[in-house]
Structure 1
Amino acid sequence: MGKRIFFIGVIMLSIGLDAQHQRIDSSIDAAVVDVYQDPDRALKNSTELLKKVETVPQQIKVYRLRATAYLAKRDFSKALESSLAAEELTTKLQDKVQRAAALNSLAILYQQMDLYAKSLELLNEVDSLLMNAAKHNQDDFEQAKSLAIRGMIYRKQGNIELALEKLLAALHRLKLQQLDEANTANASVICYNIAYCYLDLNKTETATEYFNDALRLAESVGGESLKAYALKGLAEIYGRQERYEEANKLLLKADELSHDIGDIILQEALYRLLSENYLQLDRLALYERYYNLYRQFKAKREKNETESIEAILQLQSSQADSIIAKAEASYHRQLRGRGLIGFVLLSFVLLFIYRQITENRKLKRHLEQKLRQ
């Protein structure tokens, strides 16, 4: 009877804990929605969530949320700080697919901060984890994310053909999954990047198709930021085709959608394109207005990039100091180890010599006695 009561108690406790975990997960999901709509509110909510979370996966989620919110504000230094906190926590995860998912999300953050080597390093670890993990429903999703991040990095590095190969493979894997809200948003991002690859290859018609796909997917999940990026891409094509009025309508719509998000890079791009188009239309007052806005946001971006570089250099310096400290500690351990081994060997040698001397003395005395006889 006692055991039965104990088991019922455990089940009730588990249900209570699960419900509590679900409430926290729901709060995290709600905060994620705010990231691109209201990053400041997302950060405020995440500060409260850090006091409540109980599991390592939840802690990682909150730090990833904070890093993403700081990225939306283009505060690279704090984004990096939150990313490193999340990365440190991933070492505590035992489930390989869970760890791969966490590292994938961090790789995205590093990619957005232009830390490509760090991002690729994590992606290599993701691929290794997924290769050695038992088959899991989430595998295809994580592999799709890994391929997509690689594609975005290769595109930034100018390797368009390889980028396109990875992005198309990522989209194919993602379509094998159930297209829920998160997967649909990811598919929109991938289509947007595929479109730019085709635009870089001067395949305008195909690029237009993928920008429209990105827009359609973004609209289906109500992603304001995603819609703004897709509209910007279409407007860029219209600008190349000298359809400046049509392009500006899309750009102004994108500006309206993204105005409160605080994405400096997006706004800089929108104002640059608007100023160029108004110049082509000889509407100089509007050209001057948007050119000044473009310069303001460009200055903000460059300031943030400078802070980002300083943060990266500080990170590299601290990592180098850590490596040096570990190397020195290892060296001293080896010296101590070698010293101990040397001491033991020397002791055996000295003992052997002492015994030999003692035996020789005994033999000498024995011979002297023999001679006297």
Structure 2
Amino acid sequence: MSLQVKGLPEIPEETARVAWSAFPKGSLAMSVRDQLGKVFADELFAEAFGVRGAPGLSRALLSLVTVLQFTEDLTDRQAATMAVRAIDWKYAMGMELSATGFDDSVLARFRARLVEHGMERLVFDRLLEWCREQGLVGAGGRQRTDSTHVISAVRDLNRLELAGESVRAVLEALAVVAPVWLAETMNVPELALRYGERVSGWKLPSSQVKRERLATVFGQDALALLRAVWAPTAPPVLRTLEPVALLRRITVQTYLVTTDARGREVIRKREAEQDGVPPGHLRLWGTAASLPYVNSLVQRHCGLIVSVGPDLHDAVTTAARHNPRQQFIIVGSPVKLANVRSFPPADQSAVIRAIRQVAEPRSSRRT
């Protein structure tokens, strides 16, 4: 990802008019935007981000989004949704009212690049110091507002969402494949209350204690489901379902099962420094980590899903195999599926033509 020097874009006149009409006294996002341009410049990120390649979102803009999602306790997916539907966020980001936002994966890549170059402190400490001076982020008590905490808190929210969504995906799969078995084995009414709505639609707890408690509940549900599926009386086909395999890997990656002093079983979040990492063949790699997000695009009825490079290749191929009516384009290794068009990376003009062939009919239908 190469991010060209842009800084924060100018606020479109119509966006400003509608935002101030909706928020006569302003909002947190609007207050941050009005002064943020004086705090950061894209040049601060030159060490971590190249200046060559296709332009992307500005570094200052991604810093703004990361801090806003931290203050509002939002996952990456929720932050990307806010950029589409929240008028004050559009104001803060300098977006047109009709703008469709950005893909949530860019936020994770942005944070990873900062951490890789040791720049998370340089960037966010400067921003958060200004926020404290303006009274936008609390400076007293036990609240931590240093940059490392911002990165960690946002990452934990995303892990929490992934843990809950993986349980929900298994419940949906089991309800289709073995509804009678599921009803006889699990407490379906209770699970339906907990997972009936997508976790990405929740307002996740702001309290660390409540987050830990929710993570434990997700872990307990995951463990109960996996033990039920692997029980001798369970239909063997259940163990072949991809959502089940994904849940198993996520559970091993995220949780550790131990016993307390009284011999009772305890499930808690895995800490790499304290507990080590899971076995290599069970760690979350590309397909396991990416498939839920590719599936979310399918569920949003996107007209076309385009994958470039090897990182998402296996996840997109898996999603294409299970969603024959969804159209895909893969730039990279060829895939022989009726709903997938594959192109070599060098043939950029062919990719553009293929995308236009899908986009133009949809555009004409809207008009």
TM over 0.5: no
Higher helix share: 1
Name the TM-score, length of structure 1 as normaliser: 0.25
Higher strand share: 2
Name the TM-score, length of structure 2 as normaliser: 0.26
The structure that has the greater radius of gyration is 1
